[in-house]
């Protein structure tokens, strides 16, 4: 008979997890200019979900994630990563050559490095989350 | 823009990612396995054609000129290894369709295989030291996961050794990379070769050389660093064993060839001596290890070690011919050793065991399987005109021409001992009658890899075996084009200037890299 | 100012040592975990002071990360204990 | 002036850190040690971050310094609660000078149930809640 | 035509199953047409060869190695080719009868055809490698033929033994040929033989010679490698008749003859060949007398003949060489016939024991006649071809200069022993009182009689008309062996001379021995314990030794103890690093101390954390210490200008601790498992690594010779890559390929973890324990 | 209503953290805040009536800091002087706070105040168990704690 | 600072190797963790350590104002840290599964696959 968290931890997790996720996105997006980037952001996000896991257990966390299995996150992350590889081919530059596109109207640049970093983010998040979740899931199932 | 240099890495990565994303759909996984590996073989042939035409093909990834970005570069050695990787990938993916069970497929068998191939291809193509480390890790972690797939007790025990000792190698490798960068300030192999050649502190160059030697020696399973291999290679699902046997250790050998021709040729003498004795002891210990075994895959595993010695000897003798022979041995071994493992899988399926003593009668029951085994096994022992003959002959010739008589004699004796083991298997599995107490069950066999019932005569398992056996024969009978390639490899590796110029550009000099020019290097 | 920073660094350095002594002495796992938590807090302090000293505000991001994520390990340990894991002392 | 404030904040912050460290070393049992760390260390961080805010003076940095303060205030007590509770429940010894323990009688180590002592018969039964493990 | 001759057989072998389907029982005759046709073709080449013309054919094979498939027909090749094809024809026909209805007849045909062409390729080969390739092919096909009755453990053992010995010789051959090719400056035998280089003067003459002799001796069953040949009698008799009398075992002799012009005549050559040949000759003859198994007797008598041939090559005079070709031909004819007769006896009576047979003449009259004629030739009785050969052999033995007395003595003794053997074989089964045999004997079918009858007839014909042989192929063959033209004149009557006297004496002694054979055998049986320590025991001991050493080595090296593995690897690293860093080169260390208190404290915490983790008594203390170390490392990174690293380290450390905690829950507490002494040793080893690493870092750090490539990265980060965090720019742009690989590593690790935790080995249905064991035990 | 407030808060947090006060960045922040809230939406139910409390928050902050420093000094004194003056013990404090957020808030504030440490809340959420260092005057302590709770709850109600 | 770091890294390697030579799988895996950290620090130290000059370029500039720490080893170490994390996570779970199956923490009881 194990409690998956106390009232205080529940509340804290509910407040802290969105904060941490937000922070992770922040780290992701400005990583090109300041400390941060896909790895760090992905790890922070994974930490956020880990907190939630500790507080509420696996099935509640799955509910938060809705239909997205961590494994899907991994696959998506990897595909995002691969997606930044090939655009250069269309302009006859070597693979992975950074492509920068100005989004018209606003002062924002989309680029393959950004796509790549998002891929890194998702892959790191998915991988770490998958590991932690599986470990906890298995522990629960075992006598 | 030379896509063909990068595609052998990128395609399996893509296949792996797609396969992972569709982890719920088994048909999709199986389709990706075959289609992806077919595509991989296609691009690797494209690469080979390019290399035949141009000697070196280079792509500067990310558009950053070497040595600042990561360069992928293919010379003949890389191209040949890549083609073999593609071939192994295709053959094994087809075999796996039959040999791999539900459980394995649901838990990432095919993605792992794709990514393993990507790691191998990356290691063969990269021109960057740290990038090589990354591909080694990709390959390694993929192999970890494949090794434990199924979770048998033996797998776990084997995996602990495999994982630990390989991680030790990785750390030594990584440390050496760090020291290399600290010393010469570059990670590009061609650039590092240039810089190391003029480095003032040759003692440190030698230190780096031995560190890389130990790291790759562990990866390649050379004496006395091979323990992880015989402890683990016989434990995973058989297609995985075959993949490991065919590809993985060869990457360590490749790295040794690359590093000790490109980066460290100047320290020859001492390192050469180390390599020669390492090679000799590797051959002997491996082959003797096999002599003591009575389990199909264990025998084969120890023989991997022994054959690694042959290959390293090719490098250690350090003549174009010897290197050609070493790489020929690599090529031949990939084909043959993979096939022997695949055959062991079929025999296991037929008779429910890998224990030689419990098997028998297959010469009569499965004559074509017997032919395939005979071709592969006797090729391994170096019987002409099969593939292994040239590997052996060229190295023996090179050894005699280099006046390395002792080690050549050892190589010859090891050939005899190889025959010993192969004949043992042949006598026990094929010639001997099936022991009374292990008669083949008449109904379908439950295979250990998973609980799926499979008819024992799946043609998907025989097809790859037949193809590889044919290769074992054809590589020997039609050796000329291959030998010409091997000779080119020997020439290219012994003259690394071509590689360096292909990567860095023809007009590049060492002057820019020096903080101040050393006195004796100043030319008027 | 440099002196103040130096002194504060020395003080926090000593604090690190003391926290570590508690990690070694235990006696129980919770004691060690508490010391680890303290260690992390002191690291935040050191980073803050270092940011001032070098005038590089980017270091603060590291402090944010510790502040936000550092307590996760403690929660992990606590969960371990509550699930009946041995205290090992 | 600003320098003085900064210096004061830094020094006090560092001193609180040291105090916390001394506390964790000297205090006799887990819970009393936690008193030292949770508060003194948090206060130390807060003071130093105030110094950071003063030092840089830019909006972005100040915001980040305050974010750190807020985060510390949010996480430190949670961690303390979780560890303290776990430590207490798995039987960390209380200091011999402890004068009172109103928790122990209300705690069932087998079921991990924690009563309030204010239960009426009707609500004394443990009601399953949504987040209990199945 | 020549490539057809050599290679078409392989094709035929491949299509043998088809022929079986088409021709059924008659397939043997159909297949025999192939060697018969070849024999005719070779006969057709005779005039040209007699004129001294050499037919040459070269096919490119691996020109990059200087290897071609080249063939040549000279006298020696022609002699062998004729033997191979003619006897091959008869053997194929014979086998059709012998193995009639045998379920593996198809496989037999495939392999024996393959063998036949391998043998042809071997004797026709001109390229050194061509020779080698076919040499090895004969070993392999012979292996398959000896092991034909593979369900029988003796057959398997014998096959393996034969293969081993000949394969070992093959390895020596490879080395020898490479030495020969390098020394002779050519990969063609003809060129080497004709070339101007005197190989006898070459520095590597002796090793080269020894390698080649080893090859020849193993293949041709010379003492002390003779033991495999009698054991090879496990093969069906057609195989014995073909391989182990007429063809394969003569491959070694062929090699020696081939090399005689370029390597022969030296002291080493003459000494080794004469003595080994003579000893082999005696050994064979002596051992033949000891046995009662008819096939073994014939096998040992073959050994004797092979020894004789070697001895003749050793003596090396013109006469000896002419004798060599003559003896070769004579032996092939009568031994082929005798083996087939032995096969008939075995086939018809169901036993190979000659003492179990008797009085068979009325039942099998034709066989008896054939047997007697062939045996007379073996005994060297006039007017058979064997007589001429033996006379010439005595003559040659008298010419022997090196160890002449020994050679002569052994030749004499061997001769009378052989006569006794011949008598036993020809007389015991057919005369005397009728014995009951396992099978009721009757005359063999025509297919089985044709071969021996023809061969026996040839022995007789050539004995009466030796000029047929002398004029024909033997002259050409002897010239090839001699390296210069010789003329061969053979005659039955040489006048009354010493050889004739010796012949008469040996005949008498032989007859005496035949009469007292049973008693002599009983006496010889007392020698059994001595004989058991012969060369074969050496072979057995070697095989045993291989097993023992390999098991010992595996126990020592692959001992299963992980810490020993790690220890060995670490010691190797220490030795190599230490040697290069400290011993082979001067140590150059840069040293410059500039430290701050808090930095030292942080670094000290890092180290102490690690050390405490190493010695902690409890796992969780160790984990907390790892955490301390991690935080300290992170702080170190931050203090030394690497905020990204610091943050990453912090996060990774936190997650690692969480993982450890999640996992440790299931794991046992630490236990102290090693002895204090082991711990001291490990501290020393680990400490050495630490010291070396420290020195390495300091050395590498002190080198400031090169501009790091990162300068370019720093300069171009903003202008070209549009990023101000250079580390991130490196990760996602300059070196994005690394990062790409890295996320795949993480993904792989996650897949691995999921698979490991969720994919459990299926619970096996209640199977016997043996099944369970087999997956994990060796 | 609650959701909208949190959304705005998160957006502000975003703007502050990123240090970019442009309108676009606020929009970005709102979007991310929205996404985050969508993620946690099923779990959060106690966020009613937040915005009107800023002045009260400030007042409370002052009170809290005073407590924090005062009590810290007391603890520090006890640590630094060899004989122990403390009289630690665990007491049960009946809770006024009802919602999870309130209880957590109160418990955390109590934890942050030196000398008191929230151990746990009883299963029926009626009592907070607190470890206190100075139980010399338990009534005084309980009064202080109640005041803290009262002031804190004021912020929410 | 490098000499101090060099000694520290040496000690880290030593501690790691010592742990890896134990018979307990838990110690083994902790040794692996130390070892990978040690290697990262080796790279970091060997390339040279710089105080207070992170490789960041202030906004609006195209190059750093003064000399900054070498960013390349940092990127390399960052990659290595994450790789090591993945690998070690795998290793950690592996020892757990191995323990579940073999039922012993003692590596000496896991030698069946060798001989
Ligand atoms: Na340096
Ligand atoms: Na440097």
The ipTM estimated for the assembled molecules is: 0.93
Q: Is D115 helix (H, G, I), strand (E, B) or coil?
A: coil
Find which of A12, A44, A54 to mutate to test the D interface (most D CBs within 10 Å of its CB): A12
Q: How far is A40 from chain E (nearest CA, A)?
A: 6
Inspect the interface and report whether the beta carbons of E730 and G75 lie closer than 8 Å.
yes
Chains F and G touch (3+ CB pairs under 8 A): no
Residues of B with CB below 8 A from G48's CB? 182
Q: From the CA of A13, how many Å to the nearest CA of chain B?
A: 30
Q: What is the pLDDT of residue E374?
A: 92
- Report residue D30: phi and psi, to 5°: -55, -50
Q: Which residues of A touch B61 (CB under 8 A)?
A: 94-96
At residue E587, the 3 state secondary structure works out as coil
Rounded to a whole number, what is the distance in Å from the CA of D3 to chain F's nearest CA?
Answer: 22
Of D74, D99, D115, the CB nearest to F87: D99
The list of chain F residues with pLDDT below 70 reads 1-5, 19-24, 26, 37-55, 57-58, 156-157
Find chain G residues with C-beta within 8 A of A70's C-beta: none
Is pLDDT of E294 > 50? Answer: yes
Sign of CA dihedral E344, E345, E350, E351: negative
> Cα separation of E116 and E149, whole Å?
20
pLDDT band at E767 (very low <50, low <70, confident <90, very high): very low
Note whether F78 and F38 are same-domain residues. no
Sorted by where each begins, the domain ranges of chain D are 2-93
Do F32 and F88 fall within a single domain? no
Candidates C15, C51, C79; nearest CB to D17: C15
Mutation target among A18, A26, A35 for the C interface, most CBs of C within 10 A: A35
Measured in Å, residue G46 CA sits from the centre of ligand 2 at: 6
Comparing D11 with F4, which gets the higher pLDDT? D11
The whole-angstrom separation of Cα B141 and Cα E677 is 36
Radius of gyration of chain E (CA): 38
- % of chain E with per-residue pLDDT over 90: 44
The pLDDT value given to residue A106: 66
- Phi first, then psi: what are they for E14, rounded to 5°? -65, -30
Any CB–CB contact under 8 A between B28 and chain A?
A: no
3-state helix, strand, coil in chain D (%, to 5): 65, 5, 30
Distance, CA G47 to ligand 1 centroid (Å)? 6
Tell which residue, B111, B290, B272, B264, has the closest CA to residue B199: B264
> E485-539: per-residue pLDDT in tens?
888 777 777 777 888 888 888 888 988 888 888 888 888 888 877 777 788 888 8
- Of the two residues E290 and E632, the one the predictor is more confident about is E632
Chain E contact for B123, CB < 8 A? no
Judge if F36 and F104 occupy the same domain. no
CA G56 – ligand 1 centroid, Å: 22
For chain G, which chains pass the contact test of at least 3 CB pairs under 8 Å?
A, B, C, E
Q: How far is G56 from chain A (nearest CA, A)?
A: 7
In this complex, is the C-beta atom of E760 within 8 Å of any C-beta atom belonging to chain B?
yes
Residues F95 and F24 in one domain: no
Contact D28, D53 (CB under 8 A): no
Q: Which two tokens stand for residue B13?
A: 């990565």
* One domain for residues F56 and F35: no
Span B14-29, pLDDT tens digits: 999 999 999 888 889 9
Cβ-contact B223, B212 below 8 angstroms: no
Alpha carbon distance B371, B366 (integer Å):
9
The band of G75, judged by pLDDT with boundaries at 50, 70 and 90, is: very high
Peptide bond into B64 cis (omega under 30): no
Nearest-Å Rg of the Cα atoms of chain B is 22
**What is the Cα–Cα distance from E164 to E158, expressed in whole angstroms?**
10
Closest alpha carbon within chain C to A51: C72
Q: Is the pLDDT of residue E633 over 90?
A: yes
Instruction: Kindly state the DSSP code that residue E484 receives in the 8-state scheme.
Output: S
CA within 13 Å, CB half, E334: 35
Q: Do B248 and B109 contact (CB within 8 A), yes or no?
A: no
Output the pLDDT for position E265.
86
- Beta strand pairing call for D100-101 and D107-108: unpaired
Question: Average pLDDT of E319-348?
Answer: 90
Residue B523: its pLDDT value, please? 43
Q: For residue B61, what are the contacts with CB-CB under 8 A and spacing of at least 6?
A: A94, A95, A96, B6, B69, B70, B71, B72, E736, E737
F4 touches chain A (CB under 8 A): no
DSSP H/E element including B72: strand B70-74
What's the Cα-to-Cα distance from A63 to each of F38, F39, G103, rounded to whole Å?
Answer: 12, 9, 35
Interface of E with G in 38-57 (CB under 8 A): none
Query: By three-state DSSP, how is residue E279 classified?
Result: helix
Number of Cβ within a 10 Å radius of residue D107:
18
Place of tokens 């660093």: B225
**Does F133 lie in the same domain as F93?**
yes
Provide the token pair at E399.
């010419």
Task: Indicate the angle between helix axes F100-112 and F138-156, nearest 10 degrees.
Answer: 130
Judge if the upstream peptide bond of residue D55 is cis by omega within 30 degrees of 0: no
Pairing of strands F89-94, D100-101: parallel
CA distance C74 to C32: 10
**From G103, which residue of chain B is nearest by alpha-carbon distance?**
B153
With a cut of 80, say whether residue G109 has pLDDT above it: no
More confident residue, E14 or E286: E286
Enumerate residue ranges in chain C where pLDDT < 50. Answer: none
Q: For residue E382, what is the DSSP state?
A: T
Count contacts between A and F (CB, < 8 Å).
58
Tell me the shortest Cα–Cα distance from A131 to chain E, in angstroms: 6
Q: Which of D82, D85, D133 sits opposite A57 (nearest CB)?
A: D133
What one-character DSSP code corresponds to residue E188? Answer: B
Task: List average pLDDT for each run of 10 residues in chain A, which is 143 residues long.
Answer: 69 90 90 90 95 89 86 94 92 90 74 93 96 87 38
Same domain, F72 and F149: yes
User: Could you tell me if G54 lies within 8 Å of chain C, comparing CB atoms?
Assistant: yes
The answer to whether the Cβ–Cβ distance between G78 and A39 falls below 8 Å is yes
Average pLDDT over residues E351-368: 85
CA distance E445 to E367: 10
Q: What is the helix (H) or strand (E) element at residue F92, kind and residue range?
A: strand F89-94
Q: What's the rounded mean pLDDT across residues D59-74?
A: 86
Q: Looking at the CA of E701, which ligand is closest?
A: 1
Please name the member of A16, A44, A139 whose beta carbon is closest to the beta carbon of C65: A44
Could you give the CA distance from residue E198 to residue G77 in angstroms, rounded to a whole number? 65
Q: Which residues of D touch C15 (CB under 8 A)?
A: 14, 17-18, 20-21
Q: Does A109 touch chain E (CB under 8 A)?
A: yes
Q: How far is CA B143 from CA B104, B148, B237, B249, G75, in A?
A: 14, 9, 12, 11, 26
Query: Both F144 and F120 in a single domain?
Result: yes
Chains B and F touch (3+ CB pairs under 8 A): no
- Residue linked to tokens 């002194």: C7
Contacts of D85 in chain A (CB under 8 A): 6
**How far does the CA of residue E182 sit from the closest CA of chain A (Å)?**
49
Q: How many residues does chain A have?
A: 143
F38 with F77, same domain: the answer is no
One domain for residues F28 and F82: no
What is the SS3 assignment for B75? coil
CB E69 within 8 A of CB E187: no
Cβ burial of F56 (10 Å; 0-12, 13-18, 19+) is middle
Q: Domain of residue F81: give its range.
A: 50-156
pLDDT (0 to 100) of residue E770: 40
Q: How far apart are CA E78 and CA E711, in angstroms?
A: 77
G4 touches chain A (CB under 8 A): no
Nearest CA in chain C to E725: C58
User: Are E115 and E138 within 8 A, CB to CB?
Assistant: yes
Residues F60 and F24 in one domain: no
State whether residue C1 is helix, strand or coil. coil
Give the H or E element holding residue E629.
helix E619-639
Mutate to test the interface with B, among G32, G113, G114, G115 (most CBs of B within 10 A): G113
Sequence-distant (≥ 6) Cβ neighbours of residue B329 within 8 angstroms: B307, B310, B311, B314, B388, B391, B392, B395
Quote the tokens at residue F14. Answer: 């975003």
Both tokens assigned to A11: 């509340």
Specify the number of domains making up chain F.
2
Give alpha helix (H) positions in E526-618. Answer: 528-531, 535-557, 562-578, 597-615
Q: Is B247 helix (H, G, I), strand (E, B) or coil?
A: helix
pLDDT at B340: 96
Per-residue pLDDT of chain B (524 residues; tens, 9 = 90+): 799 999 999 999 999 999 999 988 888 999 999 999 999 999 999 999 999 999 999 999 999 998 999 999 999 999 999 999 999 999 999 999 888 877 888 889 999 999 999 999 999 999 999 999 999 999 999 999 999 988 888 888 889 999 999 999 999 999 999 999 999 999 999 999 999 999 888 889 999 999 999 999 999 999 899 889 988 988 898 999 999 999 998 999 999 999 999 999 765 689 999 999 999 999 999 999 998 889 999 999 999 999 999 999 999 999 999 999 999 999 999 999 999 999 999 888 888 888 999 898 899 888 999 999 999 999 999 998 899 999 999 999 999 999 999 999 999 999 999 999 999 999 999 999 888 776 665 555 444 444 344 555 578 889 999 999 999 999 998 899 999 999 999 999 999 999 999 999 877 777 777 877 545 544 43
Cα A29 to its chain centre, rounded Å, is 12
Q: How far is residue E264's CA from residue E482's CA, in Å, rounded to a whole number?
A: 10
Answer whether C7 sits within 8 Å of D14, measured CB to CB: yes
Show residues of chain B in contact with A70, CB under 8 Å: none
What's the pLDDT tens digit per position in E705-718? 899 999 999 999 99
CB of B328 within 8 Å of any CB in chain E? no
Average the pLDDT over E42-59 and give the result.
84
The band of E205, judged by pLDDT with boundaries at 50, 70 and 90, is very high
**Predicted pLDDT at F51:** 37
Q: CA-based angle B227:B228:B229, to the nearest 5?
A: 95
Q: In angstroms, rounded to a whole number, what is the distance separating the alpha carbons of residues B114 and E622?
A: 38
Q: Do A18 and F39 touch (CB under 8 A)?
A: yes
**In a 10 Å sphere around its CB, with 0-12 CB exposed, 13-18 middle and 19+ buried, how is residue E773 labelled?**
exposed
Is the predicted pLDDT of residue E613 greater than 60, yes or no? yes
Q: Is A105 helix (H, G, I), strand (E, B) or coil?
A: coil
Q: Does A89 touch chain B (CB under 8 A)?
A: yes
């Amino acid at each position: 008979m194990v409690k998956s968290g106390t009232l205080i931890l529940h509340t804290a997790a509910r407040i802290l997890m969105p904060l941490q996720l937000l922070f992770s996105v922040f780290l992701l997006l400005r990583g090109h200019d300041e400390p941060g980037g896909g790895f760090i952001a992905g790890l922070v996000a994974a930490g956020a979900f880990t907190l939630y896991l500790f507080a509420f257990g696996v099935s509640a966390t799955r509910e938060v994630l809705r239909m997205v299995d961590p494994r899907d996150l991994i696959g998506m992350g990897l595909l995002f990563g691969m997606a930044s590889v090939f655009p250069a081919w269309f302009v006859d530059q070597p693979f992975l050559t950074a492509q920068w596109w100005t989004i018209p109207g606003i002062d924002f640049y989309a680029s393959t490095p950004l796509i790549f970093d998002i891929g890194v983010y998702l892959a790191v998040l998915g991988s770490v989350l998958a590991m932690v979740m599986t470990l906890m899931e298995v522990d629960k199932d075992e006598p | 823009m030379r896509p063909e240099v990068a595609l052998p890495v990128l395609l399996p990565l893509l296949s792996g990612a797609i396969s992972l994303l569709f982890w719920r759909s088994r048909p999709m996984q199986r389709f990706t396995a075959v289609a992806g590996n077919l595509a991989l073989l296609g691009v690797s042939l494209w690469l080979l054609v390019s290399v035949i035409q141009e000697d070196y093909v280079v792509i500067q990834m990310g558009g950053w000129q070497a040595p600042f970005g990561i360069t992928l570069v293919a010379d003949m050695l890389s191209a040949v290894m890549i083609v073999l990787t593609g071939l192994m990938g295709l053959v094994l993916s087809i075999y796996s369709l039959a040999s791999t069970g539900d459980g394995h497929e649901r838990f990432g068998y095919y993605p792992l295989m794709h990514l393993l191939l990507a790691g191998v291809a990356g290691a063969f193509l990269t021109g960057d030291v740290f990038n090589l480390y990354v591909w080694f890790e990709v390959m390694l972690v993929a192999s970890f996961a494949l090794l434990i797939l199924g979770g048998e007790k033996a797998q776990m025990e084997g995996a602990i050794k495999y994982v630990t000792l390989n991680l030790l190698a990785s750390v030594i490798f990584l440390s050496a990379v760090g020291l290399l960068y600290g010393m010469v300030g570059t990670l590009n192999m061609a650039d590092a070769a240039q810089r190391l050649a003029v480095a003032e502190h040759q003692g440190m160059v030698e230190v780096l050389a031995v560190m890389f030697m130990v790291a790759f020696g562990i990866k390649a399973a050379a004496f006395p660093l091979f323990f992880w291999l015989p402890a683990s290679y016989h434990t995973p699902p058989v297609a995985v064993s075959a993949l490991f046997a065919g590809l993985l250790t060869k990457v360590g050998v490749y790295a040794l060839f690359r590093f000790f021709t490109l980066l460290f040729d100047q320290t020859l003498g001492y390192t050469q001596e180390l390599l020669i004795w390492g090679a000799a002891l590797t051959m002997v210990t491996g082959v003797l290890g096999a002599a003591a075994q009575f389990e199909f895959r264990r025998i084969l595993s120890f023989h991997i070690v022994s054959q690694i010695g042959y290959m390293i000897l090719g490098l250690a003798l350090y003549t174009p011919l010897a290197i050609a022979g070493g790489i020929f041995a690599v090529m031949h071994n990939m084909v043959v050793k993979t096939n022997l493992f695949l055959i062991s899988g079929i025999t296991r399926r037929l008779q429910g065991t890998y224990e030689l003593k419990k098997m028998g009668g297959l010469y009569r029951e499965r004559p074509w399987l017997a032919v395939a085994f005979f071709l592969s096994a006797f090729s391994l022992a170096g019987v002409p005109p099969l593939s292994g003959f040239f590997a052996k002959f060229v190295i023996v010739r090179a050894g005699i021409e280099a006046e390395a008589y002792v080690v050549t004699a050892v190589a010859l004796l090891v050939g005899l001992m190889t025959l010993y083991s192969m004949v043992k298997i042949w006598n026990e599995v094929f010639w001997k009658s099936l022991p009374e107490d292990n008669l083949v069950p008449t109904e379908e066999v439950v295979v250990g890899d998973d609980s799926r019932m499979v008819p024992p005569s799946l043609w998907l398992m025989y097809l790859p075996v037949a193809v590889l056996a044919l290769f074992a024969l054809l590589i020997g009978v039609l050796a000329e084009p291959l030998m010409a390639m091997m000779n080119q490899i020997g020439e290219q590796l012994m003259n690394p200037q071509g590689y360096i110029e292909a990567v860095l550009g023809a007009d590049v000099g060492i002057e820019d890299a020096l903080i101040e020019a050393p006195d004796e290097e100043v030319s008027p | 100012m440099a002196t103040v920073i130096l002194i504060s660094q020395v003080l926090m350095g000593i604090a690190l040592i003391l926290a570590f002594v508690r990690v070694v002495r235990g006696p129980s796992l919770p004691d060690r975990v508490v010391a680890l938590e303290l260690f992390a807090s002191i690291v935040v302090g050191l980073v803050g002071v270092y940011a001032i000293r070098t005038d590089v505000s980017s270091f603060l991001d590291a402090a944010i990360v510790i502040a936000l994520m550092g307590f996760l390990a403690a929660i992990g340990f606590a969960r371990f204990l509550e699930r009946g894991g041995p205290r090992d002392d | 002036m600003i320098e003085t404030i900064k210096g004061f904040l830094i020094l006090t912050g560092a001193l609180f850190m040291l105090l916390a460290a001394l506390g964790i070393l000297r205090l006799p049992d887990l819970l009393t040690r936690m008193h030292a760390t949770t508060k003194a260390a948090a206060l130390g961080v807060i003071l130093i971050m105030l110094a950071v805010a003063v030092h840089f003076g830019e909006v972005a940095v100040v915001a980040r310094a305050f974010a750190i303060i807020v985060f510390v205030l949010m996480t430190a007590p949670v961690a303390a609660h979780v560890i303290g509770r776990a430590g207490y429940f798995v039987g960390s010894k209380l200091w011999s000078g402890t004068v009172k323990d109103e928790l122990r009688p209300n705690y069932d180590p087998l079921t991990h149930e924690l009563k309030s002592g204010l239960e009426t018969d009707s609500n004394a039964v443990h009601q399953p809640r949504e987040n209990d493990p199945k | 035509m020549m490539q057809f001759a050599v290679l078409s057989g392989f094709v035929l072998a491949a299509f043998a199953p088809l022929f079986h389907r088409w021709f059924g029982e008659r397939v043997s005759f159909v297949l025999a047409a192939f060697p018969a046709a070849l024999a005719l073709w070779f006969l057709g080449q005779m005039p040209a060869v007699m004129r001294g013309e050499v037919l040459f054919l070269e096919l490119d094979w691996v020109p990059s190695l200087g290897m071609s498939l080249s063939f040549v027909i000279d006298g020696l090749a022609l002699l062998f080719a004729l033997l191979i094809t003619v006897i091959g024809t008869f053997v194929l026909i014979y086998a059709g009868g012998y193995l009639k209805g045998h379920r593996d007849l198809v496989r037999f045909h495939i392999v024996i055809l393959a063998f036949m062409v391998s043998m042809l390729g071997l004797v026709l080969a001109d390229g050194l490698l061509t020779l080698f390739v076919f040499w090895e092919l004969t070993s392999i096909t012979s292996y398959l033929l000896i092991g034909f009755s593979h369900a029988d453990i003796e057959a398997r053992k014998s096959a393996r033994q034969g293969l081993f010995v000949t394969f070992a010789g093959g390895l020596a051959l490879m080395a020898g040929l490479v030495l020969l090719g390098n020394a002779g400056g050519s990969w063609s035998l003809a060129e080497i033989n004709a070339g101007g280089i005197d190989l006898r003067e070459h520095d590597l003459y002796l090793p080269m010679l020894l390698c080649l002799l080893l090859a020849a001796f193993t293949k041709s069953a010379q003492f002390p490698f003779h033991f495999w040949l009698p054991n090879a009698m496990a093969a069906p008799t057609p195989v014995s008749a073909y391989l182990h009398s007429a063809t394969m075992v003569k491959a070694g002799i062929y090699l020696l003859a081939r090399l005689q012009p370029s390597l022969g005549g030296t002291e080493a050559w003459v000494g080794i060949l004469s003595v080994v040949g003579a000893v082999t000759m005696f050994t064979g003859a002596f051992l033949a007398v000891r046995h009662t198994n008819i096939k073994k007797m014939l096998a040992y008598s073959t050994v004797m003949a092979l020894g004789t041939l070697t001895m003749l090559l050793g003596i090396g005079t013109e006469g000896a060489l002419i004798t060599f070709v003559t003896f070769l031909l004579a032996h092939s004819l009568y031994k082929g016939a005798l083996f087939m007769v032995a096969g008939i006896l075995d086939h018809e009576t169901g036993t190979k024991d000659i003492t179990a047979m008797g009085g068979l003449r009325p039942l099998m009259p034709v066989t008896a006649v054939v047997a007697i004629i062939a045996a007379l030739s073996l005994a060297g009785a006039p007017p058979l071809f064997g007589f001429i050969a033996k006379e010439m052999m005595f003559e040659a033995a008298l010419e022997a200069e090196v160890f002449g007395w020994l050679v002569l003595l052994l030749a004499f003794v061997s001769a009378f022993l052989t006569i006794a053997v011949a008598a036993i074989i020809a007389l015991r089964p057919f005369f005397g009182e009728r014995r009951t045999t396992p099978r009721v004997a009757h005359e063999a079918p025509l297919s089985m009689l044709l071969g021996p009858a023809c061969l026996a007839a040839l022995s007789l014909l050539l004995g009466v008309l030796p000029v047929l042989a002398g004029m024909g192929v033997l002259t050409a063959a002897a010239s090839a062996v001699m390296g210069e033209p010789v003329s061969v004149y053979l005659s039955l009557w040489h006048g009354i001379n010493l050889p004739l006297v010796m012949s008469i004496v040996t005949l008498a002694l032989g007859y005496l021995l035949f009469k007292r054979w049973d008693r002599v055998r009983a006496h010889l049986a007392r020698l059994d314990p001595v004989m058991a320590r012969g060369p074969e025991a050496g072979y057995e001991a070697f095989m045993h030794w291989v097993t023992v050493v390999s098991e010992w080595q595996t126990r020592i090296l692959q001992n299963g103890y992980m810490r020993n593995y790690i220890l060995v690897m670490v010691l190797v690293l220490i030795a190599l690093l230490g040697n290069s860093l400290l011993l082979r080169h001067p140590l150059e260390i840069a040293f410059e101390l500039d430290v701050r208190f808090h930095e030292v404290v942080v670094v000290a915490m890092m180290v102490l954390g690690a050390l405490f983790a190493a010695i902690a008594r409890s796992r969780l203390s160790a984990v907390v210490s790892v955490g301390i170390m991690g935080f300290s490392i992170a702080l170190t990174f931050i203090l030394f200008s690497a905020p990204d690293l610091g943050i990453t380290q912090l996060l990774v450390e936190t997650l690692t601790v969480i993982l450890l905690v999640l996992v440790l829950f299931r794991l046992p507490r630490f236990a102290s498992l090693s002895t204090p002494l082991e711990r001291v040793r490990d501290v020393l080893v680990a400490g050495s690594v630490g010291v070396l690493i420290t020195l390495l870092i300091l050395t590498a750090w002190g080198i400031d010779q090169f501009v790091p490539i990162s300068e370019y990265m720093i300069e171009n980060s903003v202008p070209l890559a549009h990023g101000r965090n250079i580390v991130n720019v490196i990760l996602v742009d300059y070196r994005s390929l690394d990062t790409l690989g890295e996320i795949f590593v993480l993904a792989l690790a996650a897949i691995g973890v999921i698979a490991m935790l969720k994919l459990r080995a299926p619970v096996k249905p209640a199977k016997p324990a043996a099944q369970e064991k087999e997956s994990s035990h060796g | 209503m609650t959701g909208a407030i949190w959304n705005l808060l998160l957006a502000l947090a975003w703007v502050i953290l990123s240090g970019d006060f442009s309108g676009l960045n606020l929009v970005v922040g709102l979007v991310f805040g929205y996404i985050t809230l969508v993620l946690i939406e099923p779990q959060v139910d106690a966020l009613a009536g937040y915005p009107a409390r800023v002045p009260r928050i400030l007042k409370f902050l002052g009170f809290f800091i005073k407590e924090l420093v005062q009590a810290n000094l007391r603890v520090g004194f006890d640590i630094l002087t060899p004989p122990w003056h403390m009289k630690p013990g665990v007491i049960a404090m009946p809770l006024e706070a009802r919602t999870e957020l309130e209880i957590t808030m109160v418990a955390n504030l109590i934890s942050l105040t030196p000398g008191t440490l929230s151990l746990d809340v009883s299963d029926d959420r009626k009592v907070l168990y607190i470890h206190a260092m100075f139980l010399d005057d338990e009534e005084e302590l309980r009064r202080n704690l109640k005041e803290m709770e009262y002031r804190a709850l004021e912020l929410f109600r | 600072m490098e000499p101090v770091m060099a000694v520290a890294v040496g000690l880290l390697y030593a501690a790691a190797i010592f742990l890896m030579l134990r018979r307990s799988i838990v110690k083994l895996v902790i040794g692996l963790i130390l070892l990978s950290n040690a290697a990262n620090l080796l790279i970091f130290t060997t390339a040279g350590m710089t105080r207070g000059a992170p490789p960041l370029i202030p906004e609006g500039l195209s190059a750093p104002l003064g000399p900054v720490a070498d960013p390349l080893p940092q990127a390399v170490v960052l990659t290595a840290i994450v790789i090591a994390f993945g690998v070690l996570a795998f290793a950690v779970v592996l020892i757990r599964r191995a323990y579940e199956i073999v039922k012993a923490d003692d590596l000496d009881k896991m030698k069946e696959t060798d001989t």
